[in-house]
Amino acid sequence: MTLMKSPESAMPPKVFDAMQSARSGLAELKDKTLFRRQRKSESACDTHQTFNARSFSTFCSNDYLGLANHPLVSQAARDALSVYGVGSGASHLISGHHQAHEELGQRLAMFQAAHIPRVKSLTFSTGYMANLGVITALCALPKVTSLDTGETKDFTRIYSAQLNHASIVDGIRLASKQSNVELCVFDSSALSTLRSALECDTSGHKLIVCDGVFSMDGNLGPVKELLDLATQHDALLLIDDAHGFGVLGEQGHGILEHLDLHSDRLIYVGTLGKAAGVFGAFVCAHETLCEWIFQKARPYIYTTATPPSLAMATLQSLNIIESAEGHARRAHLNLLIQTWRETLKFKHWQTPPSHTPIQPVVVGDNALCLKLDEALQSMGYLIPAIRPPTVPLGTARLRVTFSANHTVQEVKTLAGVLMDLESQHSSS
């Protein structure tokens, strides 16, 4: 957030109700240790970065494969800038849809072609917008009339995993305002409630939504079991694989490749600002469903298309993800994860059972988590505290993440630092 100074002569502003409320709301956030701040980076995204003129070893980005500052990806963006300029100039449906977006969509569809028949893809500006657009579009599917009873069922029931990302939660909230939607939140670690709810569901359409990799815990969603349930109960299954795309699967195609799943009921959302190292997101689905999303997703229709240079940079990043270099980067990442899990031993703090580059250290208390964040900063580490409402109450954590650019030694050293911190702070 940037603060502009008022001119000297300006009158002090009169305090009106909204300003007064904002002040007391902000004071309350500070009291509850929920006040958020941002840091200013002065260097490219990498495992060592400068913030406010200080150098840090960072274990917090989503740049899992270390592609955000890869020379070939940066070069592809520079080359494209010299051809296409900076901005796309308009939304996709006016004149902003460039050849580069088209190629990127086709390439992303090819990544999921073994898993979704007749797959097509649509690119979005961000993952947040993709989830808003896809969920609202699917909830706007026309009513269905039962061939047997002639009864029209005009509502959609959404089954959403409890720990799904905020963009899914917000997509459902928005869909509920626009369409006739009922929500059922399920625990992804115990699917019996979901199973019983599906058995007595009489809705027109059913949509199950789950993260492929939970962003704050790092564990995988029960995607195979969910697909079985979706098939048995005639539901669609939307998987948000923001943290699996590029990382999971032999070729980095994501969780559907990792679990070898196939179905025309699958709607796959991936993001391009995490392992792919660039920016943006996409959805892959059967061509009919994709066409419906294209026609109906307002966050796709009513926004300026992303710069074509980013699409070109992403195409280069996809080349790397599928190449021998991509394989080697994933293999190294897995070595880092294994080293971490073998080295780190806590007495009190929790490490959820994750085998992805997201390796949180759950300490529980907000104030303690902030203290640890500061202690780590004083030692030259950047691992920001993650507190509610981003994570459930009482589960404040250091969200440690790895990049293929980290070394094994760096990971071992950090594990030692955290174990020392636990022995110093576990009684506080």
Look-up of token digits 């007495």? 347
Per the CB < 8 A criterion, the answer to whether 88 and 123 are in contact is no
Q: Which is nearer to ligand PLP, 131 or 351 (CB)?
A: 131
What is the 3-class SS of 368-380, one letter each residue? HHHHHHHHHHHCC
* CB 256 to ligand PLP: min, Å: 15
Among 57, 136, 156, 167, which residue interacts with ligand PLP (rule: CB under 6 A)?
167
Minimal distance, residue 11 CB to ligand PLP, in Å: 40
Out of 56, 59, 64, 128, which residue is the one contacting ligand PLP (CB under 6 A)? 128
Q: Shortest gap between Cβ of 38 and ligand PLP (angstroms)?
A: 15
Residue nearest to ligand PLP (CB): 127
Q: Are 282 and 67 in contact (CB under 8 A)?
A: no
3-class SS of residue 288: helix
Report in angstroms how near the CB of residue 156 gets to ligand PLP at its nearest. 21
CB 155, min distance to ligand PLP, A: 25
Residue labelled with tokens 């947040």: 128
Residue 152 burial (C-beta neighbours within 10 Å; 0-12, 13-18, 19+): exposed
CA angle 372, 277, 316 (to 5 degrees): 165
Site for ligand PLP, residues 229 to 288, rule: CB under 6 A:
240, 242-243, 271, 273, 281
| Nearest-approach distance from CB 356 to ligand PLP, in angstroms | 12
Return the exposure string of 353-365: e unless at least 16 CB atoms fall within 10 Å of the residue's CB, then b: ebebbbbbbbbeb
Q: Which is nearer to ligand PLP, 123 or 203 (CB)?
A: 123
Measured from the CB atom, is 238 or 344 closer to ligand PLP? 238
The token pair at 334 is 């897995």
Query: Could you say whether residue 293 binds ligand PLP (CB under 6 A)?
Result: no
Q: What minimum distance in Å lies between the beta carbon of 409 and ligand PLP?
A: 28
Nearer to ligand PLP by Cβ, of 215 and 356: the residue is 215
Q: Considering only residues 18-57, where is the footprint of ligand PLP by CB under 6 A?
A: none
The distance of closest approach from Cβ of residue 385 to ligand PLP in the complex, given in angstroms and rounded to an integer, is 16
257 vs 422 by CB, closer to ligand PLP: 257
Comparing CB distances to ligand PLP, the nearer of 386 and 414 is: 386
Which residues, in sequence order, are bridge partners of residue 236? 207
Q: Measure the CA–CA gap between 105 and 103, rounded to whole angstroms.
A: 5
Region for 318 from its dihedrals, namely left if φ exceeds 0, alpha if ψ lies in -120 to 50, beta otherwise: alpha
* 179 vs 401, beta carbon nearer ligand PLP: 401
Q: Applying CB under 6 A, which of residues 70, 92, 98, 165 lies at the interface with ligand PLP?
A: 165
Q: What stretch of H or E contains 110? A: helix 99-112
Token look-up 């699996």 returns: 244
User: For ligand PLP, which is the closer residue by CB, 134 or 194?
Assistant: 134
Give least dist CB 395 to ligand PLP, A: 16
Binding flags for ligand PLP, 75-104, as an x/- string (CB under 6 A): ------------------------------
Q: Which is nearer to ligand PLP, 203 or 258 (CB)?
A: 258
Q: Which residues contact 194 (CB under 8 A, 6 or more apart)?
A: 159, 184, 186, 208, 229
Task: Answer whether 244's CB lies under 8 Å from 255's CB.
Answer: yes
Running DSSP on this structure, what letter comes out for residue 387? -
C-beta of 213 vs 415, nearer to ligand PLP: 213
Among 61, 88, 215, 314, binds ligand PLP (CB under 6 A): 215
Element (H, E) at 361: strand 358-364
Question: Shortest gap between Cβ of 128 and ligand PLP (angstroms)?
Answer: 4
User: 271 Cβ partners below 8 Å, 6+ apart?
Assistant: 126, 127, 130, 242, 245, 280, 281
Half-sphere exposure for 194 (CA within 13 Å, toward CB): 27
Dihedral, CA atoms, 213, 252, 167, 68, nearest 10 degrees?
120
List residues binding ligand PLP (CB under 6 A). Answer: 126-128, 131, 165, 167, 211, 215, 240, 242-243, 271, 273, 281
